[in-house]
Structure 1
Amino acid sequence: MSVNYFGADSTSATLSIELTEMGTRPVSAEITDDLEDVFADYDRVSVKVVQSSAGPPVSDYPFAMQVFSEDPAVLAGATGELADFIRDIDLSSENEVTEVAVFNLETLTKLDGRRFAEVKAKFSNPEDSAGLLEIQEQVTAEFDEGRLEDLNLESDALGFDFGQESENLSSFQSAAFALIVALIAMYGLLVLQFNSFLQPVLVFLAIPFSFVGLFPGLVLTGNASAFLS
């Protein structure tokens, strides 16, 4: 990315930003290789560079929910109660809620024409996305229509958009559905190929053996042992 500043005065300024094209940006594997080459010249230092995970970095606040209301006082009261409730949640896994914060109370922020504030949470293990869904389920169960009415909120006043984490969860769900469809299609093709309903099952039983070489292959090629890899 290159940034160029042009003429500016007391009322305006011009800034030109040129972004690097997606196809020419360095990926994690390339950066890892470059760093390994740099540290290879150090005789008395042993440095190991690894890729922590595939895909974009985890957000500082993986959990983020939106509270909609045009009244700032109502937003302040509702987000405060939600924040207190989330702090006291005990997750079923070893993951824990470490911090809860409220954003956009002092600014006018709108989504689809509706003013909102956000309640965000940090976890001890931010890469464990199961905690996101568990908190959403508990918040939805606790703050039902009657509880929202007590807080002077409408029935649709709560929203759950985790940003990149929402996209990741959606990708996992889509991938799982696509995998099921692909397996059914493969089974149908194998039935036509072998003219048998049993032989394709034997072929499918061999699929788990592919994992024997999968994870060593990821390690040898310097890739992270993650879903996206």
Structure 2
Amino acid sequence: MSEIRAAMTLLKQAQKSSKGAAAYSRYVNRPLGRPLAATAYVLKMTPTQVTMVSALCTLTGVVLIALLAPTLWSSILVTALLVLGYALDSADGQLARLTGTGSLAGEWLDHFFDSLKLATIHLAVLVCWFRFYEIEDHWLLVPLAFAAIANTFFFGIMAADFLRRIHRLQAPVQTAEAPREAWRSGSLYSIAVIPTDYGFLSLAFVLLWWQDGFVFVYTALAAINALMLCLAAVRWYRSIRGLGADA
């Protein structure tokens, strides 16, 4: 235990910026990931091994959504697996920063499994609704739409970050943060974007056993994510266009 506490102390100095992070990731998931990263450090696990365990937990939860008839206990199990998988997804990055073993291959693997879980979790909901819910067929369009929204959102975030990295390499002179972007570091923004956080979606699965409640919450999240995707797309386009103007 003393080794884990010592690793926890070191991890406090190995945290990435919380700018732009949703409240769940900022105040729940990263703190959950810290003791997991410390434990992995003591066990001499690599970040890639933690990533693989994270993927195993998450994908097991996704499979159970599709295979098990929803009950209170199966819903709790699914939620626990998804929450644990997401916390481990934070832990692998924290471990990489602590040990100085981050790599492009590790970052690719992390994003690969991020993409996989976003591509499958909503399809699992589709299968669950089709097999176990007594709903009209048009409701099945909701998880299909959510899958498209989530994957487009993920691509938009990754592509914008990738293009900004390219721009920094081409123009390495550091510039001050634009005033219009500074507000994204605050708590209000963090709370406002919480519906887009995968961790918040994971918590919603505790309602999977309650058909009406889960359909309402899941559909509301899909609608909010669609709106936020539209707003984010405009911001991403303007910011990337601005990088081109600076060149």
Q: TM-score range by the shorter chain?
A: under 0.3
Q: What is the TM-score with the length of structure 1 in the denominator?
A: 0.27
Q: What is the TM-score with the length of structure 2 in the denominator?
A: 0.25
More helix by share: 2
More strand by share: 1
Higher RCO structure (Cα 8 Å, ≥6 apart): 2
> Which protein shows a greater Rg?
1
